[in-house]
Amino acid sequence: MAIKNQKAKEMWEKYLRTIGDEINSTDKVVTAWYFCDNQTSALKLADLVKTGIKRGTSSLHYWYQIAKEPVPRVGEYSIITDYFGEPQCIVKTKKVEIKSFKNITEEFAILEGEGDKSLEYWRECHSRFFTRELKEIGKDFSENMEIICEEFELVYK
């Protein structure tokens, strides 16, 4: 665990104290990050997690491949922050699947908890986001692209 954000590190230490774990424990993988690519969405989505509505997230597998970073794994923890790094809550990954965009299910769209929670909303919102993300590097989005589907549980707020 190497949390660079001091406030996130403090939240993590508070969480460990509540569960009676050692602060210097190194057996847990912890990351700190925010949702989406803008201030408004990052806070709105963090709020959905804190209220228990949002229990999943998705990202392009492509980004993990080019950065040579490991895909999220079951049992890992994430400190969800707002756009400016202010910690909002901590989640623990329960399930990870990699699926093509076109094979995302209604069940997963409901877990993401966004908009009207329909698969149609999920597809429209995420295709826009992934297209915008890829445009920055001159790559086109395709419905055949692999998506990391992560299900999590709220453990601390």
Q: Which of residues 110 and 136 earns the better pLDDT score?
A: 110
pLDDT digits (tens, 9 = 90+) for 73-93: 999 999 999 999 999 999 999
pLDDT digits (tens, 9 = 90+) for 116-141: 999 999 999 999 999 999 998 999 99
What pLDDT, on the 0 to 100 scale, is given for residue 69?
A: 92
- The pTM score is 0.92
For residue 80, which of 125, 116, 44 has the smallest C-alpha distance?
44
Q: Which of residues 118 and 29 earns the better pLDDT score?
A: 118
Residue 100 three-state SS: strand
**Residue 25 pLDDT class (50, 70, 90 cuts):** low
Domains of the chain: 6-156 (3.10.400.10)
What pLDDT, on the 0 to 100 scale, is given for residue 5?
A: 85
